[in-house]
Structure 1
């Protein structure tokens, strides 16, 4: 009969848990939501707001409105708005909550700084306009005095809420130089003032492949093209120069250092020009076909843009899918053994004597493979490059879950550590020259993994 008692106890426990959840969680949440709703200044949904006017003291008024579902700035300049910035502004506005009432019928609004407000916010929802005035801070400076519309009822709002609404022109206008989807881009060109020019086109049959029409025999690495597109996509205005859309006099040499054009199916759809500012080479100025004025940007973007096909060429030493590697046999710096992927996803070390030990922090193994995925050669090694004896080579052999193997080897004993490049041989017999610093870094990562082999034998 014990099972009956256990069932009764479980039932009582379930009832008590349900009681606690309902009254202490659900009801408490409803009460808090009710309190917030009571203190909320406006009963307006964020998506219902169509127009906003910000009138800050001693600043030009800002007028933002929604056109065809997108926010645009109408005053003091007409330009595209930063959609996320305005959405955040709207959210902050419609969710304003009173801290507490101060004076239900204030006779002298100047006492609260509300006769000449520091900020007035007006917004339209449908045909209805709402507005709120913000005055001075309270003695603790944690809140602002405020009043709705033309009312004389004064209340307090958190200073942080007011700060979220008191935005300037540069905080609300669009900052992205170009907006686009990768699928739109069918080609791109990068032209430099020094005469270098690179043109790339997406393959018509395989959209994952990119080619250089001028040098079709060179393989282009997609990751490098993606990096170019990302650099353009992430480029944002730091400040806005109220100058004509394209003023050649603003650049130090009379022209931009680099000009990037994105091509779509029907021709160019986006362009940017970037260069150093005249009389101020530390400042980088950009022009965009999608913006109404010149802007300043982070000059680092120029260093990321390619000049020749070599900058985007696929010079991968090996083609390795690190996710599929299940075993690595190694010979490096006088030690040899293997790393084996176990059923639970961890890695084990197997020594030359057959001993087997767990690898602590097995997550460190995969990054070693990533190094090989990203490794690129400087140039192909000369056909007569002398290969050391096998015992003098460091060697790695990767095995994948589908049974494929990939082997790489490079000088180990008696190599010239000061040499800028080391020859590296693949299992197919090809030889490449790879930066010595890259090889040494990979060796150190491998040795670091091996040091983490536990003394505890794995089962």
Structure 2
């Protein structure tokens, strides 16, 4: 009797079910073989390493010794070492793994570039013997390097990128930081140069201002940028370790001198001499004999002069930190205050009120816009030796605003108009400022209408 077609379907399903059961009960029982971990080349705890040396055929030996938490070079000359570079080399050595053993009993080591080795790394750990690793030629595919240890005959390979870590020149491991200064620690800055000198000081609120040649406001971010260049300054090479004569480097009479007064009372000095002819300059740190070669970036910044560091906005105001302000305009005096409260969702909202001469609630957006505009008015020209106030319409200012910000002392600015031009004076500034006329007129209008 011929079976119906649906029995064929049942048969197929039965076979598939059997296969599924096999996979579940048999294959799932098989234990996956864990991948074999690679063998480390050396047994190393970098925290215990006290000495590190790098040498090789045709190379100067570079030897470093750890002194507390810092490193110093002892060969080929005594000098401070770059601790970060030294630790990077040790990390690479600590994690160095054998990719493949090429031969347990190799013939001529010279065939692998190991006699003599191209690079030899030696480390000494506290309380332990010295460990060495020799590095030779690259493999034909250039993805690996032949290597061995002197106390064992076998030759093995390691990743080429790992081996490259140990190919260092003495200067690569040298401390190239000239001044070792953090910008946040600087409290005073003095600069002398061919275009004159100037001095700045930072107050307890972190605001920078010029103290010479006149008292005038400085741009916070401009000064911070210059100090950032000083903080990250690194020498590109050593021109002379112990120069007998500074004149060839232009350091007998430095072209520029930067003095930094620090929070701890110490002073750091950078002297910049002549150009090397390849967009670099000679320089040295005060108190050190070493003459270094530095990039021109900081020289270019200093060459812009004091005007590049000045506050080029009328007044830097954080509108959301303003707690109140007074306005004098058109013969009227008004005062304004801000109150803060939280809504039912806990979100803080601000409300502004004119407190003098009345107690009228104001449109908060209009007040915030006026305050925001204060920091948007650009200074077009600084008049460091101004004439009388009447020359600029400042004998009878069109606007005077006194601002009270949270955790800051009162500050003010006043704006005058003369012949269609707008001028200003501000707190802590001996100069008269010529302003962008369009924005200054808008500023006067906005505050007068509040």
Q: Same fold, TM exceeding 0.5? A: yes
Larger Rg: 2
Structure-2 change in CA distance of 1:141 and 1:114 (3 Å): same
| CA apart distance, 1:270 | 1.8
Are the counterparts in 2 of residues 79 and 292 from structure 1 also a CA contact under 8 Å?
no
SS in 2 for 1:106: coil
Task: State whether structure 2 residue 296 is matched by structure 1 residue 299.
Answer: yes
| CA apart distance, 1:107 | 3.2
SS in 1 for 2:216: coil
**Structure 2 stretches of 5 or more lacking a match?**
1-30, 323-344, 348-371, 394-404, 406-411, 426-431, 440-450
Aligned to 1:284: 281
Aligned to 2:119: 119
Structure-2 change in CA distance of 1:374 and 1:59 (3 Å): farther
Aligned to 1:164: 165
Task: State whether structure 2 residue 48 is matched by structure 1 residue 48.
Answer: yes
Pick from 303, 309, 313 the counterpart of residue 312 of structure 1: 309
1:47-68: CA deviations, max 9, x gaps? 2222111002211100011112
1:324-346: CA deviations, max 9, x gaps? 79xxxxxxxxxxxxxxxxx9x9x
Aligned to 2:153: 152
Task: State whether structure 2 residue 84 is matched by structure 1 residue 81.
Answer: no
Normalised TM-score (structure 2): 0.63
Number of residue pairs matched by the alignment: 350
Aligned to 1:62: 62
Aligned to 1:143: 144
Are the counterparts in 1 of residues 146 and 156 from structure 2 also a CA contact under 8 Å?
yes
What is the CA–CA distance in structure 2 between the aligned matches of 1:371 and 1:151, rounded to whole Å?
A: 75
What is the CA–CA distance in structure 2 between the aligned matches of 1:132 and 1:91, rounded to whole Å?
A: 14
1:308-327: CA deviations, max 9, x gaps? 654433342243337779xx
What is the CA–CA distance in structure 2 between the aligned matches of 1:31 and 1:370, rounded to whole Å?
A: 66
| CA apart distance, 1:163 | 0.7
Aligned to 1:255: 253
| CA apart distance, 1:214 | 4.1
What is the CA–CA distance in structure 2 between the aligned matches of 1:102 and 1:151, rounded to whole Å?
A: 13
Task: State whether structure 2 residue 223 is matched by structure 1 residue 222.
Answer: no
Aligned to 1:189: 190
Are the counterparts in 1 of residues 52 and 123 from structure 2 also a CA contact under 8 Å?
yes
Structure-2 change in CA distance of 1:78 and 1:196 (3 Å): same
Structure-2 change in CA distance of 1:247 and 1:261 (3 Å): farther
SS in 1 for 2:165: helix
| CA apart distance, 1:433 | 3.4
SS in 2 for 1:378: strand
Structure-2 change in CA distance of 1:65 and 1:379 (3 Å): same
SS in 1 for 2:47: helix
1:329-365: CA deviations, max 9, x gaps? xxxxxxxxxxxxxx9x9xxxxxxxxxxxxxxxxxxxx
Aligned to 1:357: none
Compare 305-314 and 143-152 and name the one that shifted more: 305-314
| CA apart distance, 1:373 | 5.6
| CA apart distance, 1:295 | 1.8
Are the counterparts in 1 of residues 51 and 63 from structure 2 also a CA contact under 8 Å?
yes
What is the CA–CA distance in structure 1 between the aligned matches of 2:240 and 2:268, rounded to whole Å?
A: 21
| CA apart distance, 1:233 | 0.7
Are the counterparts in 2 of residues 177 and 290 from structure 1 also a CA contact under 8 Å?
no
Are the counterparts in 1 of residues 250 and 282 from structure 2 also a CA contact under 8 Å?
no
SS in 2 for 1:58: coil
| CA apart distance, 1:246 | 8.0
What is the CA–CA distance in structure 2 between the aligned matches of 1:134 and 1:371, rounded to whole Å?
A: 65
Are the counterparts in 2 of residues 243 and 294 from structure 1 also a CA contact under 8 Å?
yes
What is the CA–CA distance in structure 1 between the aligned matches of 2:90 and 2:302, rounded to whole Å?
A: 37
Superposition pairs for residues 319-398 of structure 1, below 5 Å? Answer: 319-321=316-318, 372=375, 375-379=378-382
